[in-house]
Amino acid sequence: MMSESAYNASLATLYSLGKFGIKLGLSTIKGMLRGLGNPQKGFKSIHVAGTNGKGSIASTLSSILASSGKKVGLYTSPHLVRFNERICINNRPISDQDVVAAYEAAKTNYQGSRKPTFFEYATAMAFFAFGRHHVDWAVIETGMGGRLDATNIITPVLSVISNISLEHKIYLGNTLGQIAKEKGGIIKEGIPVVTGARQPVSIGALKTIAKKRRAPFFRLGSEFRVRRRKSGTFTYYGMDHIWHNMSTGLLGNHQVDNAALTLAACEILNRDGIGISLSNIKKGIAGNRWPGRLEIVSRFPFVLLDGAHNLMAARNLARFLLDHLSDKKITLVIGILDDKPYHAILRSLMPVCSKVILTRAKIDRALPPETLYPIAKEIVSNIRIIPDVDDAVKCAIKTTPFNDAVCVAGSLYVVGEAKAMLESKKGDYIPMPG
C-alpha cells in the first residue's frame, strides 16, 4: 500500500521544480510521453485555450460527455487545494496512489537533455493517468498560450479558443495579434475550431491560421450566438439547432458565452456521430460546478471566492458584485501576482467595495501587499494589510456583519488558500445549500 510519505515526497519534488521557471517548447514533453508509450494517442481529446473561461468550458464539456456515458479525463490548472484536482476522471480527482504512480512513471521513463518543468511533469502525469484508466475522451486545458504549451502535443478532434486579451506578455507577445497567434497555435490541420474571440485583430489572426491549416472555423456572434432571457435562461442559436430554456450552473453573465462555446462544440461533435443528446447536454451544463470561480461558500456572512486573476476576470467579477450584491457592504480580500496588471485590477474591483484587506499568497510570484497599498489607498480609505491569507480571510469574516459580504479575489492561489482554510473550518460558517 502506498504511504502518505510517498505522496508528499512526490509533490515536494514536483513543487521544487517551480524554481526553474517556465520553459515553453515541445521537445521535452515529447521525450516524456515517448518514454511512457505515448498514452495521449489512446483516447480522443478536445483542446481548450484562451485567456478566460478555459476551465469553465473544459469542465462543462467533461460533465456533458460524462452525462452521455463516456469515461472522461479532465486536465486543468492550477489546482486550488490539492494537486489531484488537476487530473480528474469523470470530474473526480484521481487518488493519491494514482498521483504517485504517474509521477514515478514519468520520472523513471524520461531520458532527455533538460530537466522537465513542473507543468511538463503534470501534463505527462495526466496523460499517463488517463491511459492507465482507459478513458474514452480527455478534455485538455492549456497552461499558458498554446503553440508551445506542453499540452499541444495532442491531436484533438476539436479545438476551442475561449477569448483573447493581453496576458503573459513576456512569453506570448505585447499585442493582441501576437497573443492570438500563440493561442491559435493549437489549431491543427483540418480540425474544427470554435472561438469566442471578439476583437477584429484577434479574429483575423485566428482566421488566418485556420485558413492556412484548412480548419473549419466557428465564431460566437457569427456562426452561432445566444440571447439572454430575463428569467436567467438563454436561447442558443447554433449551426444545426436552436435550443431554448438553456441554463448554466455557473454564476456570472459571462458564463453564458462560455456555455455557448460548449454548445457549439457539442454540435460539431454530433456531426461526427458522437451522439450527445439534448437532455445530456442540459444535464451536464446545468449541473457543472467550477470551484473558485464565483463560488459561494457561506451565506452568513455571504462569502464569495473568485480568482479574478487578470483584468478581464476582474471586470466580470465587478459586474457580478454590482448586479447581485449592491445591497451589501463588501469586504474585499485581495492578493495579486507580480505578472498581472495590478493597477487596473484594483481600479476595477475596489470601487464596489467598502473595506479592503490586502494579502499575499504563499508563492514566489505574489506581490507584497505594500506594493498594492498606495493604489488601493487612492480608491478606498478603509484598508488593512494582513499578509497571511488565512488570517486575512478570518479577519474579514469576523468583522463583517452577517447581512454583508466578503469577496476573496485577485489570484487563484489566494482563493485556493482561502478555500483550504474554510474547508478546515466547516461548521464555523453556514454553507450555501447545493
387 within a domain of the structure (yes/no): yes
Q: What is the mean pLDDT of the chain?
A: 92
Residue 246 sits in a domain of what CATH number?
3.40.1190.10
CA 96 to CA 76: how far, in whole Å?
Answer: 17
430 within a domain of the structure (yes/no): no
130 within a domain of the structure (yes/no): yes
206 within a domain of the structure (yes/no): yes
Domain boundary residue, one of 287, 322, 337: 287
Q: What is the mean pLDDT of residues 189-211?
A: 96
Per-residue pLDDT for 432 more than 80? no
433 within a domain of the structure (yes/no): no
137 within a domain of the structure (yes/no): yes
Is 276 in the same domain as 305?
no
Residue 232, pLDDT score: 85
Q: How many domains in the chain?
A: 2
359-414, pLDDT tens digit by residue? 999 998 899 999 999 999 999 999 999 999 999 999 999 999 999 999 999 999 99
What is the pTM assigned to this prediction?
A: 0.91
217-272, pLDDT tens digit by residue? 999 999 999 999 988 899 999 999 999 999 998 888 889 999 999 999 999 999 99
Is 36 in the same domain as 115?
yes
Is 63 in the same domain as 132?
yes
Is 209 in the same domain as 61?
yes
Is 138 in the same domain as 202?
yes
431 within a domain of the structure (yes/no): no
Whether 48 contacts 57, CB under 8 Å = yes
Domain hosting 352: range is: 295-424
